[in-house]
Amino acid sequence: MSLRLTNSLSRRLEVFQPLAPGQVSIYCCGVTVYDLCHLGHARSYINWDVLRRHLIWSGYRVRFVQNYTDIDDKILRRAAEEGSSMAAVSERNIEAFVADMARLNILPADRMPRATGSLAAICALIGELEAKGAAYSADGDVYFAVMRHAGYGKLSGRDLGEQQQNAAGRVASEEEARKQHPFDFALWKGAKPGEPSFDSPWGPGRPGWHIECSAMVRAELGDTIDIHLGGADLIFPHHENEIAQSEAATGQELARFWLHNGMVNVGGEKMSKSLGNFTTIRALLDSGVSAMTLRLFVLQAHYRKPLDFTTEALEAAATGWKGLNAALTLAAGSDGERAAITPAQPASDPAALAPELAAARERFATAMDDDLNTSAALAVLFELARPLRALANRLERGDAAGGDPALGPALHQRGELLLELAAVLGLRPEAVSTPAAFAAGGPDQAAIEALIEQRRAAKACRDFASADRIRADLLQQGIELIDRPGGHTEWLRR
């Protein structure tokens, strides 16, 4: 079965066929680096990372480009607020972005161009549009003329003739006055006094938002790419405008497939900076939610549907991940390379797999090929994991034959397959947080361990009342005790 994806252009499921056999070019709209990334970004980039991994796993060579928007009003405002510069704000947030993505096990893009590094290409493109009559300049600004571009609105289903021209009062009226049509958008904005600016044939200023993507796609990947990615909130106007600019300039179709991910909601509303209902990726991860838990949470839903962020759902994902992680950890063994498994050609030879495992692999591939049905794919992972979890627990209790996790050929093969398929979803064994990692607050480690020793002594004398009191007291202070086989007691902060 071949990969089918929902193409926003047709709003239909289409069989994916790259332009050049065996290789796929992808452009993903990146972030405006004025602040830290939140869970909406996490969802988007986790999903696209999975698309990329699935393509690689399926045997394609993938070239993946993602931009940084580092010229923007919000960055300027932020810089002004903190008395620093646009470059400083951008640099800081780019570093944070890279770190956050790495924590989520999102593969770095092959190229990550910045708007500030693409000015020559941007100006060239604007010049081309102006020369072709698709754009006009007005008072130092340059605008794209939507009425002169046949097909404007094809992505978002907007009809210029029928559109309510309700932009009045929402957009700076002076800018509105310069436009020939309300939907015309700025390719170049002339600098206002005191603003940082870049030189251009139209005078000092800075590029509009949409043009950078058109310029970067062309510079990095060519006139027509296979897949263009972004959040559903970018369909209009951003992607619509991108299409108009690029296609007016090149005469070629910009992207053959457009994929859009659904929003992360909080209490039924979209998570966004303006609503103030966002949680940053690092705040969540630093609060003790593991990166793989977040990944599982995201992948349990289909990428196109809205995903409601609730603590209940997140806790469910955490518990689910715990089980999966136990199986993955056992399968990976002590081999460090295993933990760092990267997607590649199929690691297992399907022909050599036991029938049950071959069927599981097939179900996984079919699910992923069906518009990235990660929810169904995860079900396969959970089923593969079950016997491994059971063994992991038996080993922990010490009642499995032999101390060595010699899995036996069948379980070994199952473990290998589980690791292979999990890697397609970017899921990898994750070290369980150690008490040391939660060293802040409450009783210190030495005190806790002293109490554990007291309790052990009490239990040895069958003084369970004292033992239970110690356990209850510690729980009051947020310390949970877990008795393990062999009289050993572990603890963790709740």
State which of residues 199, 269, 356, 444 lies at the interface with RNA (CB under 7 A). Answer: 269
| Span from 139-147, 250-258, 307-315, 442-450 in contact with RNA (CB under 7 A) | 307-315
Nearer to RNA, 95 or 199 (CB): 95
Q: Please state the closest distance from residue 365 (CB atom) to RNA, in A.
A: 14
User: 283 and 252 in contact (C-beta within 8 Å)?
Assistant: no
Nearer to RNA, 168 or 352 (CB): 168
Nearer to RNA, 14 or 483 (CB): 483
Q: What is the CA radius of gyration of the chain?
A: 27
Query: What is the DSSP-derived secondary structure letter of residue 156?
Result: T
Nearer to RNA, 344 or 432 (CB): 432
Site for RNA in 352-371 (CB under 7 A): 367, 370-371
Nearer to RNA, 98 or 235 (CB): 235
Question: Minimal CA–CA distance to 94: which of 80, 75, 81?
Answer: 75
Q: Is 137 in the site for RNA (CB under 7 A)?
A: no
Q: Please state the closest distance from residue 230 (CB atom) to RNA, in A.
A: 4
Q: Give a three-class secondary structure readout of 259-282.
A: EEECCEEECCEECCCCCCCCCEHH
User: 22 and 77 in contact (C-beta within 8 Å)?
Assistant: no
Q: Is 2 in the site for RNA (CB under 7 A)?
A: no
Q: Is 477 in the site for RNA (CB under 7 A)?
A: no
Site for RNA in 42-81 (CB under 7 A): 43-44, 69, 72, 74
Nearer to RNA, 138 or 313 (CB): 313
Question: Minimal CA–CA distance to 237: which of 303, 191, 171?
Answer: 171
User: 54 and 368 in contact (C-beta within 8 Å)?
Assistant: yes
Q: How far apart are CA 38 and CA 276, in angstroms?
A: 11
Continuous H helices in 111-226: 119-131, 173-178, 209-221
| Span from 150-158, 337-345, 411-419, 443-451 in contact with RNA (CB under 7 A) | 150-158
Query: What is the DSSP-derived secondary structure letter of residue 236?
Result: I
Site for RNA in 227-266 (CB under 7 A): 230-238, 261-265
Q: Please state the closest distance from residue 175 (CB atom) to RNA, in A.
A: 10
In the chain the first and final C-alpha atoms are separated, in Å, by: 46
User: 155 and 235 in contact (C-beta within 8 Å)?
Assistant: yes
Angle between helices 374-397 and 311-332 (to 10 degrees): 60
Across the strands, what pairs with 264?
Answer: 307
Q: Is 310 in the site for RNA (CB under 7 A)?
A: yes
Q: Is 101 in the site for RNA (CB under 7 A)?
A: no
Across the strands, what pairs with 479?
Answer: 493
State which of residues 11, 81, 276, 352 lies at the interface with RNA (CB under 7 A). Answer: 11
Site for RNA in 445-464 (CB under 7 A): 459, 464
State which of residues 82, 139, 199, 315 lies at the interface with RNA (CB under 7 A). Answer: 315
Query: What is the DSSP-derived secondary structure letter of residue 128?
Result: H
Query: What is the DSSP-derived secondary structure letter of residue 436?
Result: G
Contacts of 193 (CB under 8 A, 6+ apart): none
| Span from 247-255, 419-427, 440-448, 476-484 in contact with RNA (CB under 7 A) | 476-484
Q: Is 178 in the site for RNA (CB under 7 A)?
A: no
Q: Is 321 helix (H, G, I), strand (E, B) or coil?
A: helix
State which of residues 147, 171, 344, 450 lies at the interface with RNA (CB under 7 A). Answer: 171
Query: What is the DSSP-derived secondary structure letter of residue 438?
Result: G
Nearer to RNA, 127 or 230 (CB): 230
Q: Is 405 in the site for RNA (CB under 7 A)?
A: no
Q: Please state the closest distance from residue 309 (CB atom) to RNA, in A.
A: 9
Nearer to RNA, 73 or 286 (CB): 73
